[in-house]
Amino acid sequence: MGKIVLHDKEFRLFMKAEKIDQVITNMAEEMNEALKNSSPLFLSILNGSFMFTSDLIKQITIPGTQISFVKIASYCGTHSTGEIQELIGLKEEIRNRTIVILEDIIDSGRSMKHLLEYLKQKSPKKIIIATLFYKPKAIVYPIPIDYKGIELENDFVVGRGLDFDGLGRNYPDLYILNK
């Protein structure tokens, strides 16, 4: 499909699924080697990461691998920070474990910064960040990304788990907003 319409916006095909699959396969191979003795706990950040997680995890062969699907709840509070972040769905013990965060996309880095602060309080052994897409030019909160999938310009994309106002997550290819 060359283009799709979501709500009132048109998106054009930007990257075929096969290219994205290859990047994920390479990432899985690197992880299998680098994390082979770590019994990692993969934290898949919903909703956007469901497809990336599924594609990646099928290729992970590390003994002791666990996966938890979590959701970030953020809401404004009356605390001085003005923001409280919580992880919904996290049942596994974090303390002393190697955590691999799986994100669909890192844009400003704001969500990841808050997530890191939250997880660090739980004393993990190590936190590793893996993202399928990232936009280096959009970064406002610099964070160390261990596994960077595909670099994007400052454009809005959908597909491969990413949505525009709830639509478009289901497409295996990546689409870019037509301006």
- Which residue, 3 or 125, has its beta carbon nearer to ligand IMP? 3
Q: CB-based burial of residue 56 (10 Å sphere; 0-12 exposed, 13-18 middle, 19+ buried)?
A: buried
HSE, side-chain direction, 13 A CA sphere, residue 143 = 29
Residue 108 gets the label, from left (phi > 0), alpha (psi -120 to 50) or beta, of alpha
Give the one residue of 51, 111, 124, 145 binding ligand IMP; rule: CB under 6 A: 111
Asked if 102 and 130 count as a contact pair (C-beta separation under 8 A), the reply is yes
Which among 8, 55, 104, 107 is annotated as catalytic?
107
Is residue 163 annotated as a catalytic residue, yes or no?
no
Give the one residue of 50, 69, 118, 156 binding ligand IMP; rule: CB under 6 A: 156
Enumerate residues 20-49 that contact Mg ion by CB under 5 A: 48
Least Cβ distance, residue 45 to Mg ion (angstroms): 6
- Among candidate residues 73, 84, 71, 74, the one with its CA nearest the CA of residue 44: 71
Regarding 109 and contact with ligand IMP (CB under 6 A), the answer is yes
Query: Which residues here bind ligand IMP, judged by CB under 6 A?
Result: 48, 104-112, 156-158, 162
**Interface ranges with Mg ion (CB under 5 A):** 48, 104
